Amino acid sequence: MASAPKKANGNNADALIFSDDPHHPANHICTLCHQFYGHGWVTGTGGGLSIRKDNHVFIAPSGVQKELMRPTDMFVMDFQTGEYLRRPTSLKPSACTPLFLASFTKRNAGCCIHTHSQWAVLVTLICEQNLQLAPPTSTTPQDWPQNAIFSIKEIEQIKGISRGGVGSTEILEGGRKAGNLGFFDTMEIPIIENTAHEEDLKDTLERAIEAWPECCAVLVRRHGVYVWGKDVKQAKTQAESLDYLFQLAVEMHKMGMKWV
Amino acid sequence: MASAPKKANGNNADALIFSDDPHHPANHICTLCHQFYGHGWVTGTGGGLSIRKDNHVFIAPSGVQKELMRPTDMFVMDFQTGEYLRRPTSLKPSACTPLFLASFTKRNAGCCIHTHSQWAVLVTLICEQNLQLAPPTSTTPQDWPQNAIFSIKEIEQIKGISRGGVGSTEILEGGRKAGNLGFFDTMEIPIIENTAHEEDLKDTLERAIEAWPECCAVLVRRHGVYVWGKDVKQAKTQAESLDYLFQLAVEMHKMGMKWV
Amino acid sequence: MASAPKKANGNNADALIFSDDPHHPANHICTLCHQFYGHGWVTGTGGGLSIRKDNHVFIAPSGVQKELMRPTDMFVMDFQTGEYLRRPTSLKPSACTPLFLASFTKRNAGCCIHTHSQWAVLVTLICEQNLQLAPPTSTTPQDWPQNAIFSIKEIEQIKGISRGGVGSTEILEGGRKAGNLGFFDTMEIPIIENTAHEEDLKDTLERAIEAWPECCAVLVRRHGVYVWGKDVKQAKTQAESLDYLFQLAVEMHKMGMKWV
Amino acid sequence: MASAPKKANGNNADALIFSDDPHHPANHICTLCHQFYGHGWVTGTGGGLSIRKDNHVFIAPSGVQKELMRPTDMFVMDFQTGEYLRRPTSLKPSACTPLFLASFTKRNAGCCIHTHSQWAVLVTLICEQNLQLAPPTSTTPQDWPQNAIFSIKEIEQIKGISRGGVGSTEILEGGRKAGNLGFFDTMEIPIIENTAHEEDLKDTLERAIEAWPECCAVLVRRHGVYVWGKDVKQAKTQAESLDYLFQLAVEMHKMGMKWV
């Protein structure tokens, strides 16, 4: 994690991002960006990350090398008004901003992660070609195209995914999390089509969030995935579990195995 | 490794986990969890690890990000009574606990590792589809289904696997370990079916351990693997050798090669 | 990064490479070489890297283990005269030197990266066999063989590649970079045939640069790729985005998917 | 690298392994073992490494976790007499010892590396099945079976492999190393059959070394590879280049491409 001066410089905007606490969002986003670079999720300045804390939204900027990310690169927005409380003059705000905000406003998420993971992209390509079609199920919206759903079931890692997006973490008897999917559940993630400009995904992303009240993620065809959670831990561990499932699904597909 | 205060805080339970010795189980489990995260074995809080030392069983908790694991997260159980000597109030005990204990009681193991390695999962999927059937051999129990055995032979890394589970490490003339499989031996690992709740695997895991007296591991279909050894070193190096063999087996299968 | 003495030793040549600034080219090349080794781009002393700063060209030498690269290994050339200002006596200049210079003189690049990435090599092998032929497009030179073009479109990461080689980074409304390719654009990278001696690639590389005024990279069949940018950041992030696209293209090809 | 006391303890045997010089063989072997573990070359205590310096042969022991290797684990042998000058009482000498010595005595090598790399194993499996047969060439011994040769040509990384085993590093005009293979040369590596006990490979390994005077490596079927060089740098960079070529060859084979 980047080192920070012990004291903020008196500037109100900078006070928002200087902290000795590694879990302060401005520090935490940097640590996570470094880790995600190692996973291949944010190659070549791609991908992004936002944390909402109380009324402040912290957002990694556009076009920054994520493995070099520092707290001073951070944008901070007022969640109520949508105005920037801190805006580094040499940097551009992330085009993902309206998409991060959609998960915060519509799902009460506290953290949203956007990756360009190749496994996510490959899963959307396999679905695009109708090579692995989702079966009609009770949770699929009536009007959702079959090739726009990634479905998988009976893989243990599915139990790492919450039911209802930003689910409870209460542990029921037997160790199963109340709000999480079970091994025999079918996990479904909607896929939306990509657009020329990332911010134009906002409407379809919001529609997907509304149509799939149980989802904690939306895949973007030929692009990547958005994953959210009530806090950093839930968003990050769900992003890991989903990426694991995407990778496994690609390997299964290569060997002629069905996902459901 | 997480840093530890020089002195325990006087609380008996905490005294169980504070040590300057990197090989103290509370420290060792953390080091191993960090390493296993790098291997992709414990993604998204999946997988787990337990070390038994004398009458104390140290267990990584449920739902913890393994790369952030700290000694203070540790559960400690009395091996004789099964009572918790230390139980962090904010955490839940691992659902793997009865499975770890099965290897300790039935095989006298000193360490048990549970991974969600994708190679382990893929091997169970290939077997499920009868794509690579195990040949009937003298060591296969009569009533064990053919698609519930992973078999491989004539790969050098098989020599890293002990015969009889928690085998001797005595070195015979020629460098071959007395208790380990040889190059021309067929390594067989039983596969049990997954259940909705991890702790419900206990009965079938115990049955597999009894039916396969030579095994040092049990695969769980669509889930992962449990591997044990007489101590951390044997459990860990066997987990590595098995993961190597699972990965090689998947690559062989993709190229149309038989495992036995 | 390798540590450097606080003061240069009075030798003019050495003064060129000793600096406390991590962004000084002599330090920066070392940091990048270490990182690229981790990516598998410069295995076994392969690959290379050059930074041009003002009238000085800094070049990693031939035959050096890139993960051990130190500032004292650096060659420094006068950009105008082509004479070496610093030439370590125990080392040989990189055979890539005329190729790095081609990007500096013909495209005004500030940094050029050469990798032996297996994904780059595999993409050239797939094209060689006409397994994925480029479609005729308006930007393809009339006389360029169809199996000597790598083309891909409608993958989000394409937006990480500049249009016109060393493009502007001005951000247009909507967050799209003025000088970068868009999602619906077809990215084309020319492929030149390898030669026995690396420096003999100079003429065909220069011809490719001239024939493809939009390209920021040239693939070398069965060898690797040269990628440049106006500065280190653009060269490095484009090298990452291209490598991502090469890897994805190989995975797509394995699953029978078309690139365009 | 493991830390070492500033002074040896007066014991002659221990004086052989304590040094502040990171390039002292006892330290260098540890650094390399840690690095090779990261490459997946020495998983589960597999693989090994030896450095010969003057009349002393330093050898990593049998059954040690390579990522934890320390100088005090080292065996030291007198090269002339074959007697151990230092032999840790709690450890066993490596079964690879006679094979390392074969490269030292028959090729004047200064370092020999043995890996269990999966790419090496997969290449021997592909050859075993006659799926990629070597063409008869002038350098192939008359009596060598066609499925016991790994051949590849026209891949740039071949230029990282020396001609004649422990070749010259003199650089000819044009940057090509005098003693190294050229791009249009066919690289051939002999494959010997595995045996139950590693030390029993000695005779066939020696025969391969004699039959293939140009080789710097011998593959062992279903086991791994031995690679040597005149010093650590040449052995290590050749091991990297070979592993690169093995991996590329496997990927080429998966896509139906011929190696020669």
What gap in Å lies between CA D22 and CA B102, rounded to an integer? 46
- Is residue A152 within 8 A of residue A249, CB to CB? The reply is yes
pLDDT at B150 over 80: yes
> Average pLDDT in the C223-248 region?
98
pLDDT at D225 over 50: yes
**Which segments of chain D are extended strands (E)?**
48-53, 56-59, 75-78, 84-86, 111-115, 149-153, 186-192, 217-220, 224-229
Nearest to A174 among B65, B197, B220 (CB): B197
Estimate to the nearest angstrom the gap between the alpha carbon of A51 and the chain centroid: 11
Residue B151 in tokens: 């078999």
Q: What average pLDDT is seen over chain B?
A: 90
pLDDT at C253 over 80: yes
> Average pLDDT in the B238-260 region?
97
- Is residue D50 within 8 A of residue D103, CB to CB? The reply is no
Encode pLDDT of C152-162 as tens digits. Answer: 999 999 999 99
Pairing of strands B56-59, B48-53: antiparallel
Distance, in angstroms, between A216 CA and closest chain B CA?
14
CB within 8 Å: C125 and D252: yes
Distance, in angstroms, between A52 CA and closest chain B CA?
21
Can you give the pLDDT at residue D138?
65
For D165, counting Cβ atoms within 10 Å of its Cβ (0-12 exposed, 13-18 middle, 19+ buried), the class is buried
Can you give the pLDDT at residue A137?
67
| pLDDT interval class at C85 (50, 70, 90) | very high
| Beta-bridge partners for D48 | D114
For A254, which residue in chain C has the nearest alpha carbon?
C255
Percent pLDDT > 90 in chain D is: 79
Cα dihedral C103, C107, C108, C109 sign: negative
Encode pLDDT of B33-74 as tens digits. Answer: 999 999 999 999 999 999 999 999 999 999 999 999 999 999
| pLDDT interval class at D8 (50, 70, 90) | very low
Can you give the pLDDT at residue B140?
79
Closest CA to C150 of C52, C232, C81, C253: C253
What φ, ψ does residue D231 adopt, rounded to 5°?
A: -150, 180
What gap in Å lies between CA C150 and CA C186, rounded to an integer? 10
Nearest to C197 among D176, D240, D254 (CB): D176
pLDDT at C189 over 90: yes
Can you give the pLDDT at residue D3?
44
Can you give the pLDDT at residue C208?
95
For B7, counting Cβ atoms within 10 Å of its Cβ (0-12 exposed, 13-18 middle, 19+ buried), the class is exposed
Cβ contacts of C130 within 8 Å, gap of 6 or more: C146, C147
| Beta-bridge partners for B149 | B190
Residues from chain B that touch D94, judged by Cβ atoms under 8 A, are 175
Closest CA to D101 of D237, D228, D235: D228
Rg (CA), chain B: 18
pLDDT at A4 over 60: no
> Average pLDDT in the B186-213 region?
94
What gap in Å lies between CA C42 and CA D43, rounded to an integer? 23
Can you give the pLDDT at residue B143?
84
Can you give the pLDDT at residue D179?
84
Half-sphere exposure for C101 (CA within 13 Å, toward CB): 20
Distance, in angstroms, between C3 CA and closest chain D CA?
16
- Is residue C27 within 8 A of residue C4, CB to CB? The reply is yes
Residue C245 in tokens: 């696209």
Residue D71 in tokens: 């100088």
Encode pLDDT of A210-232 as tens digits. Answer: 999 889 999 999 999 999 999 99
Closest CA to A45 of A100, A122, A116: A116
CA dist D66 → C44, D84, D253 (Å): 21, 21, 31
Q: Is residue B108 within 8 angstroms of chain A, CB to CB?
A: no
What gap in Å lies between CA D44 and CA D66, rounded to an integer? 8
Percent pLDDT > 90 in chain A is: 80
pLDDT at A13 over 70: yes
What gap in Å lies between CA A168 and CA A177, rounded to an integer? 8
Rg (CA), chain D: 18
What gap in Å lies between CA A254 and CA B103, rounded to an integer? 35
| pLDDT interval class at D166 (50, 70, 90) | low
> Average pLDDT in the A3-21 region?
69
DSSP-assigned letter for residue D182: P
| Beta-bridge partners for A50 | A59, A112
CB within 8 Å: C92 and D171: yes
| pLDDT interval class at B200 (50, 70, 90) | very high
CB within 8 Å: C222 and D176: no
Closest CA to A37 of A2, A65, A72, A74: A65
> Average pLDDT in the B131-149 region?
80
Q: Is residue A65 within 8 angstroms of chain C, CB to CB?
A: yes
Can you give the pLDDT at residue C138?
65
CB within 8 Å: D257 and C92: no
> Average pLDDT in the D213-221 region?
94
| pLDDT interval class at C179 (50, 70, 90) | confident
> Average pLDDT in the A169-173 region?
48
CB within 8 Å: D92 and B175: yes
Encode pLDDT of B70-90 as tens digits. Answer: 999 999 999 999 999 999 999
| pLDDT interval class at A246 (50, 70, 90) | very high
pLDDT at A168 over 60: no
pLDDT at D9 over 50: no
| pLDDT interval class at B182 (50, 70, 90) | very high
Cβ contacts of A145 within 8 Å, gap of 6 or more: none
| pLDDT interval class at C168 (50, 70, 90) | very low
Nearest to A175 among B44, B126, B198 (CB): B198
* Alpha helices, H only, chain B: 12-15, 25-39, 97-107, 118-128, 202-211, 232-254
